[in-house]
């Protein structure tokens, strides 16, 4: 393949996603070739899944200008408003709920521009005890024997001051909400942790993603997808971590 071929491939993908091949001044054809020609067209992950990873990676910043474009592309290519809301809510679990103040407000603007009503919040009728039970069960299903290792160890008196809240509201509430399948939530986690430069967590959830329907190739692609959006070094660090985890 020549650079011309790669650029043509990238321009086709740009039109598919955004209806235009326009790129920011100064970058020449770097995005066209490296990102949209070289990464977005790789066969191991569907366009639907790549948009989930992209929105998650951009949402943890949040990088609002790029996030706006990708939310629009997501709506154009099959993501529902509910799914986009859930990607941004879950991403904010990892980057801080303060990020959701901006990312969800932006999503609301994009929805309104398209005449889409912002989806109603799901019911919150479970008791705290039920959230704890549901969260522990989901965490065990997702992570298996690794669910109680490291900072998740129940007998750690230091991390134990915070981690029960992560189980209750992370797994018991957010991971249990409608709008995304578990395999999709695993993509959100892998992409978000990679963008946040947390390779150990990206590797942990990358391993667990195999328990909810993703393949090793798809986990690797979820990490690669973040590279042009939030940096090649964080993606390479996460790939190193997942390589070691898969090798083990």
Please state, in angstroms and rounded to a whole number, the distance separating the CA atoms of residues 36 and 33.
6
DSSP-assigned letter for residue 149:
S
Spatial contact of 71 and 55, defined as CB atoms under 8 Å apart: yes
pLDDT of residue 106: 98
Please state, in angstroms and rounded to a whole number, the distance separating the CA atoms of residues 54 and 46.
12
Please state, in angstroms and rounded to a whole number, the distance separating the CA atoms of residues 104 and 99.
8
> Cα separations (Å) of 30 from 26, 37, 87?
9, 10, 28
- Which H/E stretch holds residue 186? helix 182-195
The domains of the chain are located at: 46-122+179-247, 128-170
pLDDT of residue 220: 98
How far does CA 1 lie from the centroid of its chain?
30
User: Global pTM?
Assistant: 0.95
Over the stretch 101-141, which tens digit does the pLDDT of each residue have? 999 999 999 999 999 999 999 998 999 999 999 999 999 99
pLDDT of residue 153: 84
Query: What residues have CB less than 8 Å from 245, skipping those under 6 apart?
Result: 203, 204, 206, 207
pLDDT of residue 128: 96
Please state, in angstroms and rounded to a whole number, the distance separating the CA atoms of residues 201 and 242.
10
pLDDT < 50 stretches in the chain: none
Q: Establish whether the linkage from the previous residue to 40 is cis, with ω within 30° of 0.
A: no
pLDDT of residue 64: 96
Second CATH level (architecture) for the domain 46-122+179-247 = Up-down Bundle (1.20)
Please state, in angstroms and rounded to a whole number, the distance separating the CA atoms of residues 241 and 238.
5
Return the SS3 of 117: coil
Spatial contact of 237 and 198, defined as CB atoms under 8 Å apart: no
The dihedral region occupied by 17, where left means phi > 0, alpha psi between -120 and 50, and beta the remainder, is alpha
pLDDT of residue 248: 59
- Report CA torsion sign: 240, 241, 247, 248: positive
């Amino acid at each position: 393949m020549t650079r011309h071929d790669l650029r043509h491939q990238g321009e086709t993908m740009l039109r598919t996603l955004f209806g235009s091949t326009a790129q920011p001044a100064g970058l020449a054809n770097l995005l066209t070739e490296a990102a949209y020609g070289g990464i977005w067209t790789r066969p191991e992950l569907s366009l639907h899944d790549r948009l989930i990873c992209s929105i998650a990676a951009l949402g943890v910043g949040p990088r609002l200008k790029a996030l706006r474009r990708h939310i629009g592309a997501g709506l154009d290519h099959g993501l529902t408003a509910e799914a986009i809301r859930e990607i941004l809510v879950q991403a904010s679990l990892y980057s801080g709920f303060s990020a959701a103040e901006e990312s969800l407000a932006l999503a609301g603007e994009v929805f309104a521009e398209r005449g889409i009503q912002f989806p109603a919040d799901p019911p919150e009728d479970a008791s705290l005890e039920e959230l704890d039970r549901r969260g522990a069960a989901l965490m065990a299903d997702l992570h298996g024997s690794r669910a109680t290792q490291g900072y998740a160890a129940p007998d750690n008196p230091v991390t134990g001051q915070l981690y029960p809240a992560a189980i209750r509201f992370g797994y018991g509430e957010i991971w249990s909400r409608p709008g995304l399948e578990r395999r999709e939530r695993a993509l959100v986690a892998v992409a978000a942790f990679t963008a946040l430069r947390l390779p150990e967590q990206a590797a942990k959830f990358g391993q667990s993603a195999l328990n909810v329907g993703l393949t090793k190739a798809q986990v690797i692609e979820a990490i690669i997808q973040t590279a042009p959006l939030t940096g090649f070094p964080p993606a390479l660090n996460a790939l190193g971590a997942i390589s070691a985890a898969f090798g083990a």
